[in-house]
Amino acid sequence: MARRKPVAARRVTKPPAPAAAAIPAPSSRLAPWQWWLLAAAVPIYLLASRLTLDLWADEVYTLYDFAAQPIARIISDYSAPNNHILYSLVLHPLALVTQREIWLRLPSLGFALGTLLLVFRLALRTSGVTSAIGATLALGLNVMFLTHALQVRGYGLSMLLLAGLLELAIPGAPGSTRRHRLVLVPLVGAAFLYVLPTNALFLAPVGIAAVLLAWRSAGAADPGLRARRMPW
């Protein structure tokens, strides 16, 4: 009697289960402006808390002897270094209508916020978000910055223009072309000197920093160039 061959079991394949709809994971990354707000929150609070401080003697001198005087005198009288000329011109309209500390310090608060923002942008562009946060905190929590940034004098405007010079002098600024920089750098530099002539002492360090950062950017784009010219 012939033996029957075993019949192979029929393999039953189950239909594939429908793929579950992908659920996008919430992003933990913040936009640069959000990082700046987090980094600058405490400095902004500390600056705002100083808006109502009484005027110092040198601030009173700047206000009454220069900022509140006619424009012809502001631009021609440098009998004392308290006349931070460009700042006196900016403050002049406000000095004519109010003498309240909180209003007189508002322009300086704007200059301080602009400085913190430009420092953040510059560090973000050259070194990344961690360095940008650190630079903003290092400046914004510095006692000398907090003391002088809101004075009714030209220090806050000088810091803003200096940060602007650095932002413009280093290639790669967003929305900036070489032609724009060739026009804006001399204008901002002239304004920087018109606040305080002694600001000229900062121009050489700004130039050195611009050259070093430009070399660093060129090295990042061309590793061979970096190996040849930038040993760090």
Per the CB < 8 A criterion, the answer to whether 93 and 83 are in contact is no
* Distance separating alpha carbons of residues 160 and 182, to the nearest angstrom: 19
Give the pLDDT confidence score for residue 221 in this predicted structure.
55
pLDDT confidence of residue 80: 84
pLDDT value of position 230 = 46
Tokens of 30: 């913040």
**Closest CA relative to residue 67, chosen from 163, 160, 151, 149:** 151
pLDDT of residue 195: 95
Quote the CA–CA distance of 88 and 91 in Å, as a whole number. 5
Q: Helix-strand-coil percent breakdown of the chain, rounded to 5?
A: 70, 0, 30
pLDDT given for residue 209 in this prediction = 80
Answer for the pair 188, 168: CB distance below 8 angstroms, yes or no. yes
Residues 6+ apart with CB under 8 A from 86: 154, 157, 191, 194, 195
For 231, the enclosing helix (H) or strand (E) is none
**Going along the chain, which residue ranges are E strands?**
none
Q: With 0.85 as the threshold, say if the pTM is over it.
A: no
Q: In this predicted model, what pLDDT tens digit does every residue of 42-75 receive, in sequence order?
A: 999 999 999 999 999 999 999 999 999 999 999 9
Q: Say how far apart CA 204 and CA 184 lie, in whole Å.
A: 18
Q: Give me the pLDDT at residue 106, please.
A: 96
pLDDT at 207: 83
Rounded to the nearest 10°, the torsion over CA 107, 110, 111, 113 is 160
Q: Which residues of the chain have pLDDT under 50?
A: 18-28, 225, 230-232
CB 113 within 8 A of CB 136: no
Q: What is the pLDDT of residue 217?
A: 67
